[in-house]
Amino acid sequence: MKKPIVGITMGDAAGIGPEITSKALNDEAIYEKCSPFVFGDSAVMRQIIDMCSLNLKVNSVTDIKDCQYQPGIIDVLDYKDIDIDNLKFGVVSRNCGIAAVRYTEEAGKMALDCKIDAMVSAPLNKASMRSAGYSYEGQTEILGELSGSKNYGMILVLDNLRIMMYSTHMSLREACNKVTYEGVLKKIILSAEGLKFFESKNPLIAISALNPHAGEGGLFGREELDLMIPAIEKAKEMGINVVGPISADIVFTKAKNGEYDLVIAMYHDQANIAMKLLGFGSVVTLLAGLPIIRTSTGHGTAFDIAGKNIADGTNLVKAIELAAELGAKRLECI
């Protein structure tokens, strides 16, 4: 059976992206599940391999038809865009920001053109990206713009627990103000679409409350009564299996126990506190609403430990495994 081709973006060269990519591809089992290669810079990858004393070689290519897809060899689609002599780990760099965005864009284009079956993203650094003149919140927005998608978002995945964030990187005050009837309905529709990845039968979506005790009938806020419940009722009329709002202090425990197939968390930390408490280092993100398969790590560039050979590649391994699993399902349908 043909194995899916999975393109892995190296991420910000000054962060842990190249290190976790090297360590992940040092796992021979990855090559049994997919044919992986890296969008990045060969010089950086060689430097990291030496630093980590890994028994790996780099195959630098300009076209993926020249990839070998063999354990012990990391195929790198080489853009030669990092000044290796001046690369400083853990330091914001305009050059690294430009390169990281480029890898994401190139991988996205190849995924859209069906030249690869799935893409996996090592983390980029938002400060480096901003210093390069980009205003994106992150890679999600880069790929949304590239694909022309209007309704898209991240699903956090940890075993059978799946959480979609209603809002992501903004202040808590902004996140509360962002809650609208239209926004909640749109996110429910997106969640239902995202669950198609998992082939669940009649999946059940739960909406986490914004306020304590789901607003306690309006005593602690009216967002649930005025905005969220009407959106949930409308989604039910559309045939979507959805319940809520359910108090945030219990909804994630119920989801972990299998009562729900996905929870919509109303803001960034509501989702991540639950996920990282249950499985820090094991959370993978999956993009929903795009015409491609894209997964990523559930952590950032970790500038504080970059270049020290202490980063753990396990999270990226899990992201590659999920991308390979979904990519294989797509191949079965072709």
What pLDDT does residue 332 have?
Answer: 62
Task: Kindly tell me the sign of the dihedral angle through the C-alpha atoms of 284, 286, 292, 293.
Answer: positive
Closest CA to 316 of 56, 15, 63: 15
Q: Given a cut of 90, is residue 41 above it in pLDDT?
A: yes
Mean pLDDT, residues 37-42: 96
Q: How many domains does the chain have?
A: 2
Give φ, ψ of 165 to 5 degrees.
-85, 135
Sheet strands side by side (includes 73-78): 57-61, 73-78, 35-40, 5-9, 118-121, 294-297, 284-288, 153-158, 161-165, 262-265, 205-208, 242-246
Q: Which amino acid is at 220?
A: F
Of the chain, the percentage scoring pLDDT greater than 90 comes to 63
Residue 130 and residue 40 share a domain:
yes
- Judge whether residue 331 has pLDDT over 70: no
| Co-location of 255 and 295 in the same domain | no
- Name the residue with higher pLDDT: 281 or 86: 86
Instruction: Kindly state whether residues 4 and 144 are assigned to the same domain.
Output: yes
Residue 126: per-residue pLDDT: 86
What is the pLDDT of the chain when averaged over all its residues? Answer: 91
DSSP track, 220-254: T-SHIIIIIHHHHHHHHHTT--EEEEE-HHHHHHH
Question: What is the percent of the chain with per-residue pLDDT over 70, rounded to a whole number?
Answer: 98
pLDDT at 35: 96
Residue 130 maps to which CATH number?
3.40.718.10
Question: Does residue 251 share a domain with residue 161?
Answer: yes
Query: Is there a single domain that holds both residue 284 and residue 161?
Result: yes
CB 313 within 8 A of CB 20: yes
The alpha carbon of residue 200 and the mean position of all alpha carbons in its chain are separated, in whole angstroms, by 21
* The pLDDT value given to residue 320: 95
Average pLDDT over residues 84-96: 92
Task: Give the residue-averaged pLDDT of 51-80.
Answer: 96
201 pLDDT tier (thresholds 50, 70, 90)? confident
pLDDT band at 75; cut points 50, 70, 90: very high
Q: Give the pLDDT of residue 334.
A: 52
Return the structure tokens found at 218: 């309006």
Determine the pLDDT at residue 1: 64
Location of structure tokens 């075993």: 159
Q: pLDDT per residue over 108-138, tens digit each?
A: 999 999 999 999 999 988 889 898 888 877 7
User: DSSP labels for 60-87?
Assistant: EESSGGG----TTEEEEEE---S-GGG-
pLDDT given for residue 136 in this prediction: 77
316 and 248 assigned to the same domain:
no
Rg (CA), the chain: 20
Give yes or no: residues 113 and 6 share one domain: yes
At 218, the pLDDT band (50, 70, 90 cuts) reads confident
Q: Give me the pLDDT at residue 329, please.
A: 78
Instruction: Give the range of the structural domain holding residue 206, as residue numbers without chain letter.
Output: 151-288
Say whether pLDDT at 239 is over 70.
yes
Residue with tokens 């993203």: 121
Most confident stretch, 2-11, 137-146, 272-281: 2-11
> What band does 42 get if pLDDT is binned at 50, 70 and 90?
very high
Same domain, 96 and 192: no
| Same domain assignment for residues 243 and 317 | no
| Spatial contact of 303 and 127, defined as CB atoms under 8 Å apart | no
Domain check: are 276 and 310 in the same one?
Answer: no
Q: Whole-model pTM above 0.95? A: no
User: How confident is the model at residue 27, as a pLDDT?
Assistant: 93
Q: What is the pLDDT of residues 274-315, one digit of tens each?
A: 888 887 777 888 988 889 999 998 777 889 889 999 988 989
Mean pLDDT along residues 74-103: 93
Task: Note the pLDDT of residue 168.
Answer: 82
Half-sphere exposure of 290 (CA within 13 A, CB side): 27
Q: What is the DSSP string of 172-199?
A: HHHHHHT--HHHHHHHHHHHHHHGGGGT
Same domain, 186 and 105: no
Closest by Cα among 32, 26, 13, 16 to 324: 32
Helix (H, G, I), strand (E, B) or coil at 28: coil
Q: Are 194 and 155 in contact (CB under 8 A)?
A: yes
Claim to verify: residue 133 and residue 221 sit in the same structural domain: no
